Amino acid sequence: MRPSDAEAPAPPRSAATSDIVAREDTHTSGLYQKRRLAIVRGEGARLWDAEGNEYIDCVGGQGSANLGHGNAAVAEAIAAQARTLASCTELFYNDRRAELYSVLSRILPPDLDRVFLCNSGAEAVEAAFKFARMATKRTRIVATMRGFHGKTMGALAATWGPEYRDALGGDALFPGTAHVPFNKVEALEAAITPDTAAFVLELVQGEGGVRPATEEFAREAARVCKARGALLIVDEVQTGFCRTGAMFAIERYGIVPDALCLAKSIAGGVPMGAVAFSRAFGDLPKRSHSTTFGGNPLACAASVAAIGEMRRLDLARNARARGDQLLGGLRGIESPRVREVRGLGLLCGIELKESAGPTIKGLQDRGVLALGAGPTVVRYLPPLVITAEQVDRVVAATAAALA
Ligand SMILES: *Cc1c(COP(=O)(O)O)cnc(C)c1O
């Protein structure tokens, strides 16, 4: 043994999966349905488990890893800001927050020139609902069937899933909330009334089964909201930040809502949410809403770096190209088990005629991590840095899993 070896740190060794699982299972809330896989490292669109097995990541942090794992510019920005100033509430002004507002204003529609910063998608939706109620002095929220907007109490009013709502009293808990059938244009006129504060819409329903809105539905929603004096809130928590092949899906649909909810990939994996909103909201009463961590310099620095990288790497273009490749590849799979292949950009799904579980497991066994979207849909949400060769492997693994 050389003398220095005694002081050298032990070589990095991953704890065995069973040890990680046992320790988590002892203390977890029990709320999450987990796969027995301990993920310990990532790079680009690849992940590794504690046993050293490599996977192509089509879970993408459920939408929070658009930029890919281990981005160096984001890592540097986080480290530098952590050393400089991590905490600074909106009691004060801050250089990083000011910089983020400027960066956001360059990628958002000019009308959405005010931003509330928070910490998650549900929190962005909650804030948008409060702002809409304060601005319109109306209380009703209209949402869509199969829509997903988060699981906190207010956001849950708009989220469709009866499995999330029924134990809490269902519609009785959220009086005045209505859900219209998604993409049913005729339903909008009747549902959005002079009592409606806001209509909330995903342009591609993510959790609800990877269902793109029709352009007609999106445009008609905007028209009816305007006619009734209701505010249009587009929830781009999952579709935002290049996922659908544009910085925001509203660009692909040619609409500008009154408010845009953002989160997931906004800060390169650091928790952050945002509501960008227009002057239609008027002046919101001071102190009527706030959050301690909102606009903290650490998340702002991460977001500035992440958005810079999305533009430098032209992730919108890659999402379009790789999305077309993935959708084309999946559509080319001939299997009697497939009902339909849907998607926009790199938000893709296969609806099966059976439960999606076995196919997701089959993909995992072949080195591809994918996720569900409702009981029968396999959803692909890879980091947008995924390569053509990796997409080919995902398609091949899917064909094998469905064979
Ligand atoms: C994930 C998601 C949310 C909720 O975001 P959280 O950060 O999990 O609270 C809201 N809306 C949409 C469309 C989502 O995909």
Same domain, 176 and 256: yes
Sequence letter at residue 52: G
Ligand 1 atom with minimal separation from the 150 CA: 4
Q: Which residue has 């988060």 as its token pair?
A: 150
| CB of 378 closer than 6 angstroms to any ligand 1 atom | no
Q: Which of 212, 60, 221 is nearest to 146 (CA)?
A: 212
326 and 299 in one domain? Answer: no
SS3 (DSSP) at 295: coil
**Which of 278, 312, 346 represents a domain boundary (last residue)?**
312
Tens-level pLDDT at each residue, the chain (403 residues): 344 444 445 444 556 899 999 999 999 999 999 999 999 999 999 999 999 999 999 999 999 999 999 999 999 999 999 999 999 999 999 999 999 999 999 999 999 999 999 999 999 999 999 999 999 999 999 999 999 999 999 999 999 988 898 888 887 878 889 999 999 999 999 999 999 999 999 999 999 999 999 999 999 999 999 999 999 999 999 999 999 999 999 999 999 999 999 999 999 999 999 999 999 999 999 999 999 999 999 999 999 999 999 999 999 999 999 999 999 999 999 999 999 999 999 999 999 999 999 999 999 999 999 999 999 999 999 999 999 999 999 999 999 999 9
Question: For the chain, how big is the Rg over CA atoms in Å?
Answer: 22
Q: How many angstroms is it from 118 CA to the middle of ligand 1?
A: 13
Q: How many CB atoms lie within 10 A of CB 393?
A: 15
Q: In what order do the strands lie in the sheet with 368-369?
A: 39-43, 46-49, 54-57, 368-369
Residue 165, H or E segment: helix 162-165
- Residue 263 Cβ contacting ligand 1 at under 6 Å: yes
Whether residue 230 is found in the same domain as residue 298: yes
Q: Cβ(238) to ligand 1 under 6 A?
A: yes
- The answer to whether residues 43 and 165 belong to one domain is no
- CATH code at position 29: 3.90.1150.10
Last residue of a domain, one of 270, 289, 312: 312
Kindly state whether residues 188 and 157 are assigned to the same domain: yes
Protein residue with least CA distance to atom 5, ligand 1: 121
Q: Are residues 108 and 236 in the same domain?
A: yes
CA of 272 to the centre of ligand 1 (A): 11
Which ligand 1 atom sits closest to the C-alpha of 263? 7
280 with 290, same domain? yes
Angle at 127 between CA 126 and CA 132, to 5 degrees: 100
- Closest Cα to atom 11, ligand 1: which residue? 149
DSSP per-residue letters across 113-148: -EEEEESSHHHHHHHHHHHHHHHHS--EEEEETT--
Residue 367 falls in which region: left (phi positive, over 0), alpha (psi -120 to 50) or beta: left
- Same-domain status, 219 and 357: no
Q: Cα–Cα distance between 262 and 267 in angstroms, integer?
A: 10
Domain boundary among 296, 312, 328: 312
Are 254 and 286 in the same domain?
yes
How far does residue 319's CA lie from ligand 1's centre (Å)? 20
Does residue 257 line the site of ligand 1, with CB under 6 A?
A: no
CATH code, domain with 226: 3.40.640.10
How far does residue 335's CA lie from ligand 1's centre (Å)? Answer: 32
| Domain identity same for 32 and 82 | no
Q: Assess whether the C-beta atom of 159 lies below 6 angstroms from ligand 1.
A: no
Number of H helices, E strands in the chain: 13, 17
326/308 same-domain check: no
What domain range is 278 assigned to?
A: 72-312
Residue 265 Cβ inside 6 Å of ligand 1? The answer reads no
Whole-number Å distance between alpha carbons of 380 and 323: 10
pTM of the model as a whole? 0.95
240 Cβ inside 6 Å of ligand 1 = no
Count of structural domains, the chain: 2
Q: Does one domain contain both 207 and 334?
A: no
